Homo-oligomer: A and B are copies of this chain.
Amino acid sequence: MSKRNAFYAQSGGVTSVINASACGVIEAARKHPDAIGTLYAGRSGILGALREELIDTGKESAEAIAALKYTPAGAFGSCRYKLKGLEENKAEYERLIEVFKAHDIGYFFYNGGGDSQDTAHKVSQLGEKMGYPITCIGVPKTVDNDLPITDTCPGFGSVAKYIAISTREASFDVASMAETSTKVFVIEVMGRHAGWIAAAGGLAADEETDLPIVILFPEVAFDQQKFLAKVDEKVKEYGYCSVVVSEGVKGPDGTFLSETGQRDAFGHAQLGGAAPVIAQMVKDNLGHKYHWAVADYLQRAARHIASKTDVEQAYAVGAAAVEFALAGKNAIMPTIVRESDSPYRWTIGEAPLAEVANREIMMPKEYITEDGFGITEACRRYLSPLVAGESYPEYHNGLPRYVRLKNELVPKKLKEGFEV
């Protein structure tokens, strides 16, 4: 096998463990200096390839790369930028080939969610359709846990852990206050279409710790009367209640509980503000004093309380991507394969990018209780191992020490720039 360079990029919303995947890719690549020359990282994701802004990861020390495992967010910068189809914007693909050729890039590792796996899939077709053979491996990442085939998506377990813990902690708080003050606490969590993150709020309660938690899933059309009746029932029984509401909850007519009307580059509605809507509804109809929180980026950036399972899986899919590429595989994405729930055992599998791209997996019906407001035992069996274990970063002066890389760009070789 002749030695080629490689390109790695981070795409879409970042997570607290996407850098653990980067660490896996880079450390695995460094084990094969015979096969992989320089591993370039794209500055701001695929934009780095289009603009020929390539970071030389070889300039980073082994210590700095190892520290990525404990550092949240995207160390090389991410982007929300979706390549159009080959027919719609051929110029972009021609540019990619120019850049790849100029830097002798033969391996392409793309770390992202459904949209990004679609990009990876398109890039994998460059050989066949445009005569530039490139080995293309997707690396899964999304807090939403909505990729198909893989048992879970790196990034999700840590958000799930954060939301489960935060819901437990806030529930203890409201339980203390309920006699004379706040009776209903509402926490809004991410998840545009799939309720996986909201479901994690259900883990706050378990056999040891009985807590009244009402979950609003995007998979269940919001029914105000039923919701208020459920909150009323919980407050009557426990004296208080916590509500976990997904940002993506919609009414029967399909409109979001709170939609700002803005859309991101992928055309997704940008949401925020379901929590205050729900809280006010409770106040107006049941008269309870409320508090509400919107976790937003805090949930997906919370490396301080990342799931150890998640960190290990994030690292493993990164490392596996390199091993798959060197084994001659192409147009696939490493997956997490669950072998057993308890004790939890998993291995790395693979899925064709063509089957991964642009498919969102919702919560299965059997994971949501019949009343639509809770998680079932089956859901709990699925979720529990994903939040298991702590993976604490190192602290300095009371704060986690997160690494920042040098991110040195290599000199450009092409005369032309590229406007995106």
Contact = CB atoms under 8 A, between A and B. Distances in A.
Contacts of A388: 397-398
Number of copies of chain A assembled together: 2
A295 interface: yes
Given A298-B170, A392-B390, A176 B10 contact: yes
Contact of A185 (B14, B206, B297, B398): B297
Contact of A398 (B75, B164, B395, B396): B164
A176 B77 contact: yes
A80 to B, nearest CB: 5
Contacts of A177: 13-14, 74, 78, 80
A375 to B, nearest CB: 14
Interface in A1-47: 10, 13-14, 16, 44-45, 47
A80 B293 contact: no
Contacts of A272: 276, 291-292
Contacts of A180: 44, 47, 79-81, 265
Interface in A49-75: 71-75
A176 B14 contact: yes
Given A298-B170, A298-B295, A304-B165, A398 B72 contact: no
Contacts of A203: 398-399
A173 B300 CA distance: 8
Contact of A176 (B74, B81, B401): B74
A209 interface: yes
A175 interface: yes
Interface in A400-419: 400-402, 404
Contacts of A127: none
A174 interface: yes
Tell me which of A179, A209, A392 has the highest count of chain B C-beta atoms within 10 A of its own C-beta.
Answer: A179
B298 A293 contact: yes
Contact of A208 (B45, B161, B401): B401
Interface string A162-195: 0011101110111111111110010100000000
A326 B196 CA distance: 54
Tell me which of A172, A174, A307, A384 has the highest count of chain B C-beta atoms within 10 A of its own C-beta.
Answer: A172
A284 interface: no
A73 B175 contact: yes
Contacts of A400: 165, 168-169
A280 to B, nearest CB: 9
A297 B170 contact: yes
A122 interface: no
Contact of A399 (B168, B185, B294, B303): B168
Contacts of A79: 179-181
Tell me which of A187, A302, A384 has the highest count of chain B C-beta atoms within 10 A of its own C-beta.
Answer: A302
Contacts of A253: none
Tell me which of A71, A169, A384, A390 has the highest count of chain B C-beta atoms within 10 A of its own C-beta.
Answer: A169
Given A179-B79, A293-B297, A298-B187, A72 B169 contact: yes
A121 B291 CA distance: 30
A264 interface: yes
A296 interface: yes
Nearest to A177: B78
A206 B292 contact: no
Interface of A: 10, 13-14, 16, 44-45, 47, 71-75, 77-81, 161, 164-166, 168-170, 172-182, 185, 187, 203-204, 206, 208-209, 262, 264-265, 270, 272-273, 275-276, 289, 291-298, 300-305, 307, 384, 386-390, 392, 395-402, 404
8 contacts: A75-B176, A161-B399, A169-B297, A169-B304, A173-B297, A181-B265, A185-B297, A209-B402
In order of increasing CB-CB distance, the 7 nearest A-B pairs are: A74-B176, A387-B398, A293-B296, A169-B301, A73-B172, A44-B179, A173-B301
